[in-house]
Amino acid sequence: MDGLLRAQFAYPDVEFRHIIAPSSDLPSSIYPLNLDQSNIDSMVALGTQDAIDAVNGGKTEAENTAHFFALKNSHDERVKSKSYEQFKEMKANGVFGEEYKLLEDKQMAALFLQ
């Protein structure tokens, strides 16, 4: 996601319509090639559903994804141990206040425009 945030600052006139990221934890192993077929199948199914959700959510979903990872990157306590789905619920309940505009976030700009 670091690369995505860098790209958004490097190309401020580009509209990032779809940002696809895992909506929940992926199976993992200390040994990268030690996953079984059911692990792979669950990751593919999650990726497929996340892509469908991202496309159907349009611009709002892309903005939410950028906001979530900006907060994670800045170590915001409100999202410290929260999933993306929990973040969206919190945002819908007004926890984060007004609309977030990534390119106006001075902290993120300082981090990614070095």
Q: Is residue 36 part of a domain?
A: no
Angle between helical axes of 37-73 and 2-10 (0-180°, round to 10): 50
Region 81-110: what's the mean pLDDT? 85
Neighbouring CB atoms inside 10 A of 72's CB total 15
Q: Is residue 41 part of a domain?
A: no
The continuous run of DSSP H or E covering 14 comes out as none
pLDDT of residue 66: 82
Q: Is residue 63 part of a domain?
A: yes
Locate 69 and state its tokens.
Answer: 């990872």
Q: Is residue 32 part of a domain?
A: no
Q: Is residue 105 part of a domain?
A: yes
pTM here is: 0.61
Q: Is residue 95 part of a domain?
A: yes
Q: Is residue 48 part of a domain?
A: no
pLDDT digits (tens, 9 = 90+) for 48-66: 998 888 888 777 887 888 8
Residues of the domain holding 85: 2-14+59-112
pLDDT digits (tens, 9 = 90+) for 14-42: 888 887 878 788 887 777 678 889 999 99
Q: Is residue 28 part of a domain?
A: no
How many domains does the chain fold into?
A: 1
Contacting residues for 35 by C-beta, under 8 A, at least 6 apart:
27, 28, 29
Region 59-79: what's the mean pLDDT? 85
Alpha-carbon gap, residue 91 to 114, rounded angstroms: 29
* DSSP state for residue 100 in the 8-state scheme: -
Checking 46-54 for CB contacts under 8 A at 24+ apart, the result is 46/22, 47/20, 47/22, 49/23, 50/20, 50/21, 50/22, 50/23, 51/20, 53/23, 54/18, 54/19, 54/20
